[in-house]
Amino acid sequence: MRRRNEELRRKSFLIFGSPAVGEEEVEAVAATIRSGWLGTGPRVACFEEIFRSYTGARFAMALNSCTAGLHLSLLVAGVGPGDEVITSPMTFCSTANAIIHCGGRPVFVDVDRRTMNMNPTLIERAITPRTKAIMPVHLAGRPCDMDAIMETAKQRNLVVIEDAAHAIEAWYHGTKIGAIGDLTCFSFYVTKNIITGEGGMVTTDREEYADKIKMYGLHGLSKDAWKRYSDEGYKHYEVIFPGFKYNMMDIQAAIGVEQMKRVDKYLARRNEIWARYDDAFADLPVTRPEPPEPDTVHARHLYTLLLDIEKTGMTRDEFQQRLHDMNIGTGIHFISVHLHKYYRETFGYKRGDFPNAEWISDRTISLPLSARLTDKDVEDVAEAVRFLLRDSA
C-alpha cells in the first residue's frame, strides 16, 4: 500500500478552494490603481449594478465581506439585544456571530441529513415572543426549502435574511436566490464561486433597507458621502448613525466585474467536475451529494462526501490526513457551530442537541471543486479517494 501511495502521490499540493482568476483580473486591478481611485467609487457602483441585475433584486449593496452583510442586514431588520434569530448550526461561525454582534441570540434548529439544510418543520417550535428573524443557509449551494420558510415567516411576522455565501448561482422555484428573502447576503471570499479577495453583497427589494445598509457600512455618513472627493464638488456630510467600516474598494470591485463575466462558464465547469466525482465514487463507502431538488439550481459550491465511518473504520480526520499526505487539500464544511467552545459555554449548547448536524460534522469532507482545476487535477483527486476507500468498499 505504501508503494502504491507513493506512486499516486501528486507532485505538488492541490490547494482546496484556489480561485479561478486570470490576466483579465490582473489588468482590471492595474487599471483601477492607475485611475487613482482605489477606494469605494465607480467600479463598486458598476459591480453592484451587474450583481443587482444578475439576481433580479431591486437593490444590491457591495460590502467588504458577507459577514458585514449579515451583520448590517440583522441591524436594519431591527435585531437588537435579547432578540432571537433562528438559524442552522451547519454553517460557518460568522452566521451566528453576526447575530451575537447585534446583541441577539442564535437559536439553532437541526438540519435534514439529506439536504444538510435547516429543516423548516422545526422552525415553528423554535419561535418565541423574542424571535425576530430566520436566517436560512444555503449549504454547499443547495437552496433551502424557501416556500416553507417564507410561509412561516409571513405567518409569524419574521424577517428572512438568507446566508447565500455558497449560493451565488442558485435558483429556487423559478426565482433567483437574492430575490426571495427580505435580505440576502453573498460572499466573494477567495474560496467562493466568485471572488474579490474579500468582499460581500447584500440584495433586497426594500429601499429603506438598501439605504440604511449603504449608510451603516460607511460610518453612518449621509447619502453618497463617498463622492465627497469626486469632481462633483465637496459636500459636507452628516453622521446619522455610529456606523461601521464595511465598504468595498474599487480594487475589489474591479475583480468582481471581471469574475461576473465568467460566472456561467465557471458553473458549467464545476458541474462537469461534479459529474466526474459522482461517477468515480459510486461504488465507495461514502454518501455522495444528493441531486438538486426539482425546479432548483444548485450553485455547486462544495462537493461534500459523507464518509461511511462505520464501514471504513477510519475517522473523517484520518481520511482527510491521508488525502493530505497524497497532496490533496480538502475542506470541512462544517463542524456544527453549536459544538464550538464559545457557543457551548455561552448558550449551553452541547453534543446531542442537533443529532443530524453532528452526524454530518463527523463525516463530511469537501473535495476541490474550483473552476480552476485541470482534468488532471480532478483525476488526481478521484484516484486518491478511490485508492483510500476502495479496499473497504
Ligand X SMILES: *Cc1c(COP(=O)(O)O)cnc(C)c1O
**Looking at 102, 107, 149, 165, which residue binds ligand X (CB under 6 A)?**
165
Question: Is residue 203 part of the contact set for ligand X (CB under 6 A)?
Answer: no
Can residue 254 be called a binding residue for ligand X (CB under 6 A)?
no
Using CB under 6 A as the binding rule, whether residue 94 contacts ligand X is answered as yes
Structural contact between residues 185 and 77, judged by C-beta atoms closer than 8 angstroms: no
Q: Mark the segment that binds ligand X (CB under 6 A) among 31-39, 61-69, 126-134, 342-350.
A: 61-69
CB of 167 to ligand X, least distance (A): 9
CB of 216 to ligand X, least distance (A): 16
Member of 32, 40, 55, 65 binding ligand X (CB under 6 A)? 65
Q: What is the CA radius of gyration of the chain?
A: 22
# of chain residues touching ligand X (CB under 6 A): 14
Amino acid residing at 135: M
Interaction pattern, residues 17-56, with ligand X; x per rule: CB under 6 A: ----------------------------------------
**Which of 32, 73, 187, 193 touches ligand X (CB under 6 A)?**
187
The answer to whether 137 contacts ligand X (rule: CB under 6 A) is yes
**How many Å apart are CA 170 and CA 55, to the nearest integer?**
9
Note the Cα 250 to chain centre separation in Å.
Answer: 22
Please state the three-class secondary structure of 110-128 as a single string. CECCCCCCECHHHHHHHCC
Distance CA(118)–CA(137), nearest Å, equals 7
**110 counts as binding ligand X under rule CB under 6 A:** no
CA distance 97 to 115: 23
Catalytic (active-site) positions: 192
* Whole-number Å distance between alpha carbons of 228 and 41: 11
Q: What torsion do the CA atoms of 235, 238, 243, 244 make, to the nearest 10 degrees?
A: 20
The amino acid present at 185, given as its one-letter code, is C
User: In the complex, what is the shortest distance from the CB of residue 177 to ligand X, in angstroms, rounded to a whole number?
Assistant: 13
Q: Which is nearer to ligand X, 44 or 137 (CB)?
A: 137
DSSP state letters, 191-246 = TSSS--BS-EEEEES-HHHHHHHHHHTBTTBSTTGGGGGSTT------B-S---B-
Q: Is 377 helix (H, G, I), strand (E, B) or coil?
A: helix
Piece of 53-61, 109-117, 158-166, 252-260 that binds ligand X (CB under 6 A): 158-166
Phi, psi of 118, rounded to the nearest 5 degrees: -60, 140
Nearer to ligand X, 95 or 115 (CB): 95
For ligand X, the binding residues in 74-93 under the rule CB under 6 A are 91-92
Stretch that binds ligand X, among 60-68, 106-114, 214-222, 226-234 (CB under 6 A): 60-68
Min. distance of Cβ 137 from ligand X in angstroms? 5
- From CA 302, how far away is CA 316, in angstroms rounded? 17
Q: Is 95 a binder of ligand X (CB under 6 A)?
A: yes
Which C-beta is closer to ligand X: that of 246 or that of 281? 246
Judged by the rule CB under 6 A, the positions of this chain that interact with ligand X are 65-67, 91-92, 94-95, 137, 163, 165-166, 187, 189, 200
